[in-house]
Amino acid sequence: MQMVTSRKSSAKTTASAIASRLEAAHAHCRARGSRLTTQRKEILELLLLRGGSAKAYDLQDDMRARHGRVAPSTVYRALEFLMAQHLVHRVDALNTFIVCNADHVAHHPLLLVCSNCEAVTELQDDAIYKTVQSTLRHAGASFVESEIEVKGICGKCQPQQREAR
């Protein structure tokens, strides 16, 4: 199992790190025959500026601060594109979007959502994915999305949970 990244970091992302991530996203889209338009790139940039995690309406507020009136559909269309390119994941449990930090090769993330602090840890475990996929197939079902969300308690919050008992 590989732990890819954790969310809700208090550390700010540097301008050079953001520029690097945006260039990598541009190259990723180009390799897939897609275009990272200015608007899509800006939504990804705003998500990175927010530490890699934000609600769509927070991103709309950020766009509005830069450009004036911006429709929610503008933000959602950009997010849908970014999800289709596997650059962003939607975390249904929190109604939020997070930047994907994986290498995008056979990427089937397991998203651990901390019930205490709401941090999201992105894990890569192909064995779990294959087991769930097989179980669904035997039940006559299949994945609608390849992300699997699991609620739990993250490593930072576990000591606090034990102390509270």
- Indicate the annotated binding residues for Zn(2+): 114, 117, 154, 157
Binding-site residue set: 107, 114, 117, 154, 157
Binding-site residue set for Fe cation: 107
Dist. CA 111–CA 109, nearest whole Å: 6
Q: How far is CA 104 from the centre of its chain?
A: 12
DSSP H or E segment with residue 97: strand 96-99
* CA angle, 68 then 70 then 74, to 5°: 150
Give the CA diameter of the chain. 53
